[in-house]
Amino acid sequence: MARDVRRVSRPAWPLPDLAAVIARRLEEPRPLAGGEIAEAGTALSIGSAVLRQLTRANSAPGGASAIRGSRIGACARSLAYRLSGTATAGRTLDARARAVFALGDMAEGYVTAALGDGLAQVSGPGALRLRDVRSASGQRGISLSVDVAGETVEIPGHPDGMICRADTGAALALLEVKSAAPYKFDRAAALVGAGVSGWRPDLLPADHPARRRLVRDDVRPGEWFQAQTYLHALNLDYMGVVIVDKSSGACVSWWEPRDPAFMGTLSRHLERAQAHRGADANPALVPRVLADGTALEATVDLHKIRGTPNKGHGRLPWNCVYCPFWRVCWPGSEERVERDWSGRARRWVYTT
Ligand code: SF4
């Protein structure tokens, strides 16, 4: 695994560079600090996480749930479809998707084990331990209560672990480990290298040379909303985020701070999603808006002189391509497979 160690900011407690801890541990294979029992438990944990893609129709930890931390950043209308029990009609989990998830689970379990053991090798003042990581029997569940128009909504989630003081056991930060495709990893690494959170291109200075390249349609990704949900549920100030590139094995990490404005943003987003609940529920009236306020719209790309549609005209954002409701949300739209500059096939959805 390449050493790629970058940090955004340091909390008051001297939390380490997680990517550096992981890289050091991976470069020095040796028995786990907990001995054979720890090794057997880790093997079972990684194995069961991978196997669940093969053995369970709904493999999310904790089972199916209309609203959960990992999808809270999704567009308000997709949340409304889930809340109303609308049958899915869009992206399905095919063989490739399940294989990708299983590989991601494997990479995340491997990196988490390396991090936990790397931290366990250090003792004395400032020593840390990783607790509450996924075991073969499950993952610790948490829940955030949000007031939405006078009603309390519970948002469940499953953090990847808790970083604690070795001496007192006090929790200092949450841990989130994500595996990512190369383009997503490169984006996070570039942002961290530029001194901001790997999920916050909006924090780059307006004149930063990479801003145009790094700011996408959705300014803050769903992972940021998931992280804030967990931080607020457990009242912790920081989350240690590790991203591992599934292709190169490189890791990047940073400390994501809790955002005091998050609860208001979340409440507004859920209000939008729940605006058309009840007997006369009509999710089609809910705006197609992400949690950060970004509207999801079809690309408008017309010939400058003739006004006829160019090749990309009508293409839906990637969020819709991966949404299980795109066929009901955009009636009449169609799937097209196109090849990029390298000849790689890519699926898109177009309005017609
Ligand atoms: S298809 Fe797009 S706009 Fe419609 S619910 Fe899904 S993500 Fe939202």
State if residue 79 touches ligand 1 by the CB under 6 angstroms criterion. Answer: no
Question: What is the rounded distance in angstroms from the CA atom of residue 175 to the CA atom of residue 191?
Answer: 19
Angle between helices 262-274 and 222-234 (to 10 degrees): 110
For residue 2, the model assigns a pLDDT of: 39
The protein residue with its alpha carbon nearest to ligand 1, atom 3, reads 288
Sign (positive/negative) of CA torsion 40, 119, 130, 72?
negative
Sign (positive/negative) of CA torsion 203, 75, 180, 347?
negative
Q: What is the DSSP letter of 284?
A: G
The protein residue with its alpha carbon nearest to ligand 1, atom 2, reads 320
**What is the Cα 26 distance to its own chain's centre?**
24
User: Which of 328, 268, 223 shows the shortest CA–CA distance to 76?
Assistant: 268
Question: What is the rounded distance in angstroms from the CA atom of residue 240 to the CA atom of residue 255?
Answer: 5
- Side chain identity, residue 113: A
Asked if residue 9 has pLDDT above 60, the reply is no
- Which of 83, 91, 325 best tests ligand 1's pocket when mutated (most atoms within 8 Å of CB)? 325
Token representation of residue 66: 């209309």
Closest atom of ligand 1 to 349 CA is 1
For residue 1, the model assigns a pLDDT of: 43
Residue 242 has a CB neighbour count (10 Å cut-off) of 24
Question: What is the rounded distance in angstroms from the CA atom of residue 107 to the CA atom of residue 136?
Answer: 16
State if residue 115 touches ligand 1 by the CB under 6 angstroms criterion. Answer: no
Q: How confident is the model at residue 128 (pLDDT cuts 50, 70, 90)?
A: very high
Please report where in the chains the tokens 């291109």 appear, as a residue. 201
The protein residue with its alpha carbon nearest to ligand 1, atom 7, reads 320
Over residues 138-173, the pLDDT tens digits come to 788 999 999 888 888 899 999 999 999 999 999 999
Give the N- to C-terminal CA distance of the chain in Å, as an integer.
45
Residue 267 has a CB neighbour count (10 Å cut-off) of 14
Reduced 3-state DSSP string for 160-178:
CEEEEECCCCCEEEEEEEE
- Which of 286, 329, 334, 347 best tests ligand 1's pocket when mutated (most atoms within 8 Å of CB)? 329
Over residues 206-261, the pLDDT tens digits come to 888 878 777 766 678 899 999 999 999 999 999 999 999 999 999 999 999 999 99
Token representation of residue 18: 């997680």
Tell me where in the chain the CATH 3.90.320 domain(s) lie.
Answer: 18-265
Q: Which CATH architecture has domain 18-265?
A: Alpha-Beta Complex (3.90)
pTM: 0.90
State if residue 75 touches ligand 1 by the CB under 6 angstroms criterion. Answer: yes
Question: What is the rounded distance in angstroms from the CA atom of residue 37 to the CA atom of residue 153?
Answer: 40
274: Cα within 13 Å, side-chain hemisphere? 17
Closest atom of ligand 1 to 78 CA is 5
Asked if residue 346 has pLDDT above 60, the reply is yes
